[in-house]
Every structure is written in C-alpha cells, then in structure tokens.
Structure 1
Amino acid sequence: MASQDKLTPPLTRVVTAPRRAGPLLRVEDLSVSYGPQEVVTGVGFELGRGESLALIGESGSGKSTIARSVLRLLPGNARATGRITFDGQEVLALPERRFRPLRGRGIGFVPQDPGNALNPVRTIGAQAQEAAALLDEPDKAIRNELILETFAQVGLDNPQRAYESYPHQLSGGMLQRVLIGLAVLPRPALLVADEPTSALDVTIQKRILDLLSRLQQDLDISLLLITHDLAVAAERTDALVVLKGGSVQEAGSTAAVFSAPSSAYARKLRADVPALNPDRYAALRDPGFARLTDGKAKIAVSGVTKTFSVDGKVLKAVDDVSFSVPAGTTHALVGESGSGKTTTIRLLLGLDQPDHGDITVAGTPLAGRSQQALHAVWRHLQLVYQNPFTSLDPTWKVEHLVREPLDRFRIGTPKERGEQVREALASVGLGEQFLSRRPTALSGGQRQRVAIARALVLKPDVIVLDEPTSALDVSVQADIVEVLLSLQAKLGLTYVFVSHDLALVRQIAHTVSVMHRGRIVEHGTVGEIFDNPRQPYTRSLLKSIPSGIEGGTHRSPHAFPLKEQIA
C-alpha cells in the first residue's frame, strides 16, 4: 500500500455550474418510518461547502437511515417526511429520474463494507468504468487515464494492477481506497462515508481518514461522516450531531460538543471511548498485575514457527514466536492484518500444528496430540470469535447454542445442563427471557454475550478472544469489556486477547506482544509498551490511535493544488 508521504498527482476538478449561496446540505425536521415504526424523528442540521460533519451514535440511532435518506436509497417500505435540500434543490420531492443524475455526480457514497459493495466476479477496472461514465467523457482513453489518476491519488501503490485485479486479490485497506476512488472520480460536491474504517486495522484506519481529509481539502468536498466512534469524529470533522433512538441529543461545533458535552448520552459516548479513558477498568484489572510475578504460567509458547506454501512460495506466517501468560492475567497480541496473530491463536488452540517449537496450556503440551487428546484440552480452552453472527447457528435458539458444549462433553444430567446454561447467561447479564430467542432476534452486543456465555458454560481456565468487540459500537463494547473483566476478577480466568485496537488493549491487558510479519518485535507490560515503546513499528501503531484531541482541525500535511478545468 502506498505511503502517505508518497507524492501523487493532483486531481482535476470539473466545475459544471456556478456555486449557489447557502449551505450545501440542509436537513429540516426529517422523520423516517419503516412501516408503522418511526426510526428517525425531527432531525435537522446543515453542512457548509467544503466542511465536514459527523453523525454519531450507537447502532439503531438512525445514522445510516439519515444518510440513505440524503442519497434517496431507502427501502420501498420506508417513508420520509420533512425537507432535505442539496445545493438549493429539495430532493425528497424530486422524481427518481430527476434525482438520479445527482447520485454519483453531486453526492458520492462510500459504503461500510467493500466486500459487499464490489462485485466479486468483475474486475475493479470494469466497475470503475461505471463511475467514469458519470463524467460524460466519450473518449475511453481519457476515462482510463482519469481512473488511474484517481487510484494514484487515493494511495493505491500500483493503479494499473488494482485496475486489472478482482476484489479478492486486494487487501481490505486497498478495497476501501478503491471505493473512495470510485466515489470521488465524478468529483461530487458531497461525500457520504458510512463507517468507512470500522473493520480496518488502526494504522490503515489512519491512512483512510488522512485520505478523506486530504481529498476534502484538495477537492473542496463536503464530508458527511457516519460513525459510532466519538474520537474519530472529533478528530476529523468540524461539527457533530449526536443521535440516539432516531432523535438528536446534541449538535454543535466539534470543539464544543467534544470538550463539554451537555447531554447525558454524549457524555456517556465520551466516557466509552477507550483512548480517552485508559484507566476506566483499573479497579477490575489492576489486581492481575500482581500475578505477573507471583502467578504460574498458564500458557507457554516457545520458539514457535509455522510456514505455508502459497503459489509455490514458502510463507513464514509465524517466525520464532515466544510468550507466556500467567494464570489470571490478560495477554494481548496486537499488530496489523497479516502480522501472524490469527495463525498464532490457531496454533494455540491446536487447530494447526507448528513446524517447530512448543506450546503448553496448564502444563499440557499440545504438539503431536491426537484429536481425542485435544478434545479434552478444549474443555478448558475456549474461543470467542470476532463475529458472533457467523459463529452462532441462526436456526438454533439461545438455550441450544449455549448448551451444545455441555452436550458434546456429556457433562451432567439434562436438568443440570439447563441450570448451567441459565447460570452462564446470567453471568453475562442475560435473563431467562433470552433462552427461546434466535441470534437474528438479538442485537450485536447480545449476540456477543451469548458467544461468551457459550465459552463460559464449560467453566474453562483459558479463553482466547479474537477481536471480540471489533464489530460493536463503543457503548456496547464497554459493556462487553466490563463483563469480561468482572468474570476474570471473579473466576480467575486467563485471557489471550487478539486485537488491532490498541486503545482497548491498554484498558484491559496486563502484557502485550506486538507482532509484525510473523515475528514478535516488542513484548512487555502494558505500561512498558504504551509509555516507552522501543520499536518504530510500535510507535507507528500508537500514533495511529484516534484521540479526538485535535477537535476537527486535523488536516493531512500533504495537500496538493488543484487544476481547475471549467467545463
């Protein structure tokens, strides 16, 4: 991926009409209903030309519904009332045939998930040509040149390679850059970005946000950012609109809302941002630090190496990795995608075997053990997956999902298993009313609580947590973290926590291993790693943590002049 320091060509802005006076986007008394249920109520805000505004709030707050109202992409059963004015035109009342030319040309859209937004069986170039068609440029050679120029501007290291690739051949960060490139290619006046970095590593997130800031400045684009992360919004936008339950809780300049939020909900959002509250869980976490010297190692990984063969080449996914985790503590594995974190935990769980090295859990070696022997280890070593929606069978009820491990290990009588299921659910804050529900009837946070209860029901000693909160809002994430740390304090559990969110790691971990290209480049206590990082790679990770302290003043240091072409 291209470095942010690499100079790329300036973009050509096509000016098709003189600017109108007044704000570019004005939303007045917007209400949206899905059937009989009103999900957005009386929302209003203004976005000036060349300015940025964030809609923030937890899932279900109405953020994406408002964005889709602006884009006229609401589903057929939705009804929107009020007024949305874009560049002087009232868009809700426009017939679709008259609004369609605005979508893409006037208003660009960057969706959350590039995996779903891009067609997997068509090349990036073929899909880019659809965006280029909005330029009304008949010459195919010029269109191709504009596509490649835009791909270079959004930081794709090899624009021609990206053009010729299929989506599965590019990384998540590269795909997000492609989506941004396709959105800005027609040179819209407004860019709507819906959670554009929620699934990305912290360093890639910073690069994408730097890119959006630079494009906003270079092209004088207005940015409407949809996010649940108050720190990101505060660092990158001029104004904030805080939403809850479809209603505005607070609105104003970024500096005012972030520094002195007036609503209770905005204050809670601020308190839930890990980067702003590193010591929030100190009372629950700090007793574990005494176990770093007094406790016996529950997990010991020594000199582990794992290689794979990819396209005839040998890839060393894990290279001489060693660490230990004392009982009752949390050890974090951090690093970007491809650093070796996932392979390491697969080896720890016995799902793969190392080429070299040793792994022991509670004194039991894992290497060379039979499937039956590993099955006995797994009773005491459980995994909580990143995405609970895909790890939980959607056709099963919660009771069945949580009870299944007990059934597999034939633990207790049916009556005893039922009691253990209820006990496990209660430990994560879920009552008996959830027993008959299926995953589709649960929120993201509730699904993750069920996944944790499923891991806890066997009363394991060790739980591996693979990005357990990456898909959750910060408020829901805070609830899950409190559950995990309370259980650790009560039951003496040992955690291996895999995450790219370093701010969250600082809140909950006792020790940290920083992984880069399969190797551990730095290891130590949380204080040592965060307060005095020795390696440049670790320092780059820490600098990527959004803190919100810039209060909407963030601008990329690399701004490029525009070439104005009057159409």
Structure 2
Amino acid sequence: MASQDRLNAIRTLITENAPTLQRQAPLLQVEGLSVSYGSHEVVSNVGFELGRGKSLALIGESGSGKSTIARAVLRLLPRTGQATGRIAVDGRDILQLSERRFRQLRGRAIGFVPQDPGNALNPVRTIGSQAMEAAALVDEPNRAIRKALVLETFAQVGLDNPQRVYGSYPHQLSGGMLQRVLIGLAVLPRPQLLVADEPTSALDVTIQKRILDLLSRLQQDLDISLLLITHDLAIAAERANSLVVLKDGIVQEAGSTAAVFSSPASTYAKKLHADVPALNPNRYYKLRDPGFRFLDAEGNNSPKIEVKGITKSFTVDGKVLTAVDDVSFTVPAGTTHALVGESGSGKTTTIRLLLGLDQPDAGHISVAGEKLSGRSHHSLRPVWRNLQLVYQNPFTSLDPTWKVERLVREPLDRFGIGTRAERAERVREALSNVGLGEHLLSRKPQALSGGQRQRVAIARSLVLKPEVIVLDEPTSALDVSVQADIVEVLLSLQASLGLTYIFVSHDLALVRQFAHTVSVMQRGRIVEHGNVRDIFDNPREPYTLSLLESIPTAATPARAPLPQLRRIISQEQIA
C-alpha cells in the first residue's frame, strides 16, 4: 500500500469512528469529591474527568491531597477517612458500592502501581508466589496457564529472564526490576484504569525513563486509562494528556497539558513551573557565578579537594568487586563538584573514601591540604571539623528523640568548642543561616516539615564552620518546591561563606542548576569530567548522552484516538 493510500485509510478510520468517540463517556468521572479525617477536611470539592485510553496527572506538593484522591478512587482510605461526592468508573459510582461489590473491581477494573516496591512486596515470599495472587484475578482456573500468563506479562514489561524473576525474592532484584514487577502485576488482569502513585520517585533518571516509557507503551497497547500521581511538573507535562494542579486539597488549575504547561494561570502552577530544574536550568546563575569565577582562576590556587587514582574493591560471595577504579578529580575552593551516575556506579563508595569512612586500596585523597588516606579514625578527627556531611533522607538522619537545639549543638559538644553561651549563639547563627527561626529550637523532628528537617541537617553541618560539605542526594526525598528552597539556601551560603561542595545525585537536571563541575561515573570509573556547561551542552560519551536524554522534557507524546488506529500507525511506521 502506498504512503498516500495508508494515510487515506487512517483518515477514513478516524472519520468512521468519530461518532463513536463523541458518544464515549469518560472512563473516570470525579465530581465534588471531598475527603475528611474526623473534622479535618483534606480534599475539598475536587472534580475532573479521565477519558478512555487517556492519561491524567494529579500534581502538587506533599499534603496537596493527590495521594488521598488516589486512595479514594481505589477505596483504600483508612477507617478514619470519609469521602463524599461522586467517583464514577465506567458509569458506576464506586462510593455507593458495598465493599464486597467493589472488591470485584479492585485489580480487575482498577489497577494500582504503588510508590515504593520495597514496601509493596513481601520480603519473605518469592515474586512468583505473590504474582499468583494477582493471577487469581484472571478468569482462568488452570494454575499452569495462570503461571504462563505471569511469565508472559513479566516478559511484556521488559524483565529479561521471567523465570528467574518468578523464583526470586524481592531483595534479589534491583529497584527498577521490582517496579517492573509491580507494573506487571497491576496490568496482568487487564484493568481499564491504572493508578500510578509516584511510580519513579526513588529511581535513577535512566530507570525512571524506562519505567515511564513502559507505562506509556502499556497504556497504548492495552488501551488503559492512566491516572498518574506526581510532584514533578516536567514528568506530568511529558506523559499526560491533561493536568490537575492541587494545593491544600483544592484544585488550583485544570485542563489540557499544553494549556496548563504553556500558560499556567494560577500563582501556584506558575511557582511549580519555576521550581522544576529541567525547565529552568539557569535559575541560579547569579548565585553560581562566583564559583565559575573561581574555576577561571583555578590555575592560581591549590585545589580544596584532590582525589588522585583511588581504587577500592570488595569481596562479595567469594568474588572480587571493584567498586571504584582509578578515580581522579580536583575541586577548587568555593565551587560545587557533582558525582553523577546510575545506582552501582561507585558514587557512594567514592564519598565514603573522601570522608575517611573507608580507606582506598590505592591512590590518595586530600582535603584542605590534609591527606586523608592511610590515617586512623582518631587521627582524622581534626579533619572532620572542616569536612561535614548532609545525608540523603532528613526523615531518618535526625534523632527523633532530640530537640532541634541539641541536634544542631551536638557537633560543638563533641569537639568541645566554646562555652555554653557561645555554643547557644552558634546554634542560633547556624539556624539563621538556613532561614529557620529560634522558635524551632525546642521542637523535635516530627514537629517539622520535610524541608525544615533538611534545613536543620544543613545547620548541623554548618555549626562547625567547615570548609567542605558533602551533600549526598540532599533533596531526593523532598518535593520539587521544597527542593528549590534548599538549593537556594545552599548556593546562598556558598556565595557568602565560600563553601566547597561535593554533590552526589542521580538528578541531572538538578546538577545542571547547582554544580560547577561534574564527573560522570559508570561501573566505578569516571567516563567524562569537566565544566558542567560543557558536559551538558556537548557530551562526548554515549553513556553521558543516555543520562541526559533521560531528563524529562515538556514534549507530550502524540496519542492515537483508537487502538486499531495505533496498530496501523505502528505497523506502517507512520509518524
């Protein structure tokens, strides 16, 4: 068939199906939805529609109500939660159904992909035994056939060895593989609606792209409607046909992705847009400018950090694993150097060596002229006054039984610095530097927001007035708006105090905003190194290019109107 004939056939198919498309009611209709816990209303009068075979993203910060709405759609609210309004799936108001009748829909008509595969899967049972529970939702009495369907679905979601996955325990699989397992179990019964709650928030950028590509492909191949929960506007813009922007349980803005993304009307949507690193790579250019000037003058200054030829190997199950292989880089004072790469690339081992927590097998490391390699922990204590660490997760890095005042003061106590009054003054100064008031001194971590906790962790690292701070994924557990606040605090402190940062991250868009230089790590080696602008604008290595291509963009994929139309386009490869 000639190209023109194929195009005519597609046009005819669209025309013939236009009346059908117009008659089809939305698969999911949410009208006047409110959710309360006791007397506290957390979602107020929310409404939206999701068409058949379409995708809609609920976006907003933590506490915006997006996950609560998803739980209401899934009828998974806790006993204290009360939902009112109307949630219709394929015309049936599920809020009016009994639990027994709704149970027939859960899994079969409505599938669910949770956020954390580590918590969603039972660690003491094999993947196969858990998969067979999902397969029980398929109307097939033969167990052998159900197992074959499980293996076929595992292959469909891109798991290379389905039989091995079937017999494995969760701890034997990577995070990306576990998320594919969850997606496979969700689509196995062929639901009409798939609810995905932050399905990639804990994954590397390349694995994130593969998972999102998989969801998009399954959505098209199986004609599934996708309700995507995310705080990342870039992901929502790239993957969804329409958006609903939430804040404090209230819809701020709703409409087609193109309209909301290109011309946000609400103040909150505009702020979300501004806070997404992928969409605003030069947001902090003025704050980073002093660091770039230090780079230009690097030849006249000795580096603040020097890592030269370090190697580190471990023995695992009788096999020698080289985690870091001949790694070298230098960091001028007052600049930020980023280490990027997928999980297993050697980033964490490198910073453990840099902090003196492990010793390299070969090579040497110096910080502020002090050599770290080959020294005991006791002899490193003076070095650690100038070398501090901010951990990844503020929800686990702070002692929950201590108050903020003690958390920030502890480093001063350990090093015996100053009088009691001087320590109290330095604690207040450190809190002020990160934008926190003295009224928080008596609070414990559970009484703080995620952003406040991470500011406390940064204040704790600053109280010793170090020259170098290692930032290990310091914003990965935070919403994009809170992340923007933390980044601005860190860069302001660097500009005013001349701090030197080592920044470990898998978020390349954030690295582009934050760092001055970058080392790209793969399988323990540095494959590319240099000025962040040069690396991002002109990557030389295929691996670096693959990382950069995984950054979400604003381009939304074109969606064909009918499954059979999609098949024609796919078969004929017509764009």
Check whether TM > 0.5: yes
1:82 aligns with 2:78: no
Distance in 2 between the 1:476 and 1:180 partners? 29
1:523 aligns with 2:529: yes
* 1:551 Cα deviation after fit: 3.1
Instruction: Tell me what 1:181 maps to.
Output: 184
SS in 2 for 1:160: helix
Residue by residue over 1:225-264, the C-alpha shift from the partner in whole angstroms, topping out at 9 and shown as x without a partner, is: 0000000000001000000010000000000000111111
Instruction: Tell me what 2:151 maps to.
Output: 148
8 Å CA contact retained: 1:111, 1:196: yes
Pick aligned residue for 1:413 from 396, 408, 419: 419
Residue by residue over 1:76-135, the C-alpha shift from the partner in whole angstroms, topping out at 9 and shown as x without a partner, is: 111111110111111112111111111111100000000110000000001001100000
SS in 2 for 1:46: strand
Distance in 1 between the 2:360 and 2:328 partners? 12
Instruction: Tell me what 2:461 maps to.
Output: 455
Pick aligned residue for 1:481 from 481, 487, 500: 487
Instruction: Tell me what 2:556 maps to.
Output: 551
1:165 aligns with 2:171: no
8 Å CA contact retained: 2:403, 2:443: yes
Distance in 1 between the 2:319 and 2:221 partners? 42
Instruction: Tell me what 2:538 maps to.
Output: 532
Deviates more, 1:182-191 or 1:437-446: 437-446
User: Sequence identity, in percent?
Assistant: 80
Distance in 2 between the 1:453 and 1:346 partners? 21
Distance in 1 between the 2:558 and 2:372 partners? 52
Pick aligned residue for 1:387 from 390, 393, 402: 393
Pick aligned residue for 2:317 from 311, 320, 323: 311
SS in 2 for 1:191: strand
SS in 2 for 1:314: strand
* 1:371 Cα deviation after fit: 1.6
**Equivalent position amino acid for 2:96 in 1:** A
Deviates more, 1:360-369 or 1:481-490: 360-369
Instruction: Tell me what 2:41 maps to.
Output: 38
Residue by residue over 1:454-474, the C-alpha shift from the partner in whole angstroms, topping out at 9 and shown as x without a partner, is: 111111100000001111111
- After superposition, the Cα gap between the structure-2 partners of 1:62 and 1:466, relative to the gap in structure 1 and judged at 3 Å, is same
8 Å CA contact retained: 1:235, 1:554: no
SS in 2 for 1:183: helix
8 Å CA contact retained: 1:502, 1:545: yes
Instruction: Tell me what 1:28 maps to.
Output: 31
Instruction: Tell me what 2:571 maps to.
Output: none
1:123 aligns with 2:129: no
TM-score, with length taken from structure 1:
0.94
Instruction: Tell me what 2:347 maps to.
Output: 341
* 1:369 Cα deviation after fit: 1.1
Instruction: Tell me what 2:337 maps to.
Output: 331
Instruction: Tell me what 1:565 maps to.
Output: none
Instruction: Tell me what 1:245 maps to.
Output: 248
Distance in 2 between the 1:388 and 1:524 partners? 30
**Equivalent position amino acid for 2:95 in 1:** L
* 1:293 Cα deviation after fit: 3.7
1:213 aligns with 2:223: no
Instruction: Tell me what 1:73 maps to.
Output: 76
Instruction: Tell me what 2:498 maps to.
Output: 492
1:502 aligns with 2:508: yes
- After superposition, the Cα gap between the structure-2 partners of 1:506 and 1:129, relative to the gap in structure 1 and judged at 3 Å, is same
TM-score, with length taken from structure 2:
0.92
SS in 2 for 1:328: coil
Distance in 1 between the 2:390 and 2:400 partners? 17
Distance in 1 between the 2:160 and 2:450 partners? 36
SS in 2 for 1:205: helix
* 1:136 Cα deviation after fit: 2.4
1:133 aligns with 2:136: yes
Distance in 1 between the 2:270 and 2:144 partners? 53
Distance in 2 between the 1:399 and 1:158 partners? 52
Ranges in structure 2 where 5+ consecutive residues have no aligned partner: 1-20, 561-565, 569-575
1:364 aligns with 2:370: yes
* 1:318 Cα deviation after fit: 0.2
8 Å CA contact retained: 2:56, 2:228: yes
Residue by residue over 1:123-167, the C-alpha shift from the partner in whole angstroms, topping out at 9 and shown as x without a partner, is: 000100110000021111101110000001111111111111100
Pick aligned residue for 1:283 from 272, 286, 305: 286
8 Å CA contact retained: 2:389, 2:472: yes
* 1:21 Cα deviation after fit: 4.1
8 Å CA contact retained: 2:33, 2:46: yes
Pick aligned residue for 2:358 from 348, 352, 360: 352
8 Å CA contact retained: 2:237, 2:261: yes
Residue by residue over 1:46-84, the C-alpha shift from the partner in whole angstroms, topping out at 9 and shown as x without a partner, is: 001100000000110000000000000001111111110
SS in 2 for 1:515: strand
Instruction: Tell me what 1:268 maps to.
Output: 271
Distance in 2 between the 1:514 and 1:461 partners? 24
State the Cα RMSD in Å.
1.5
8 Å CA contact retained: 1:33, 1:40: yes
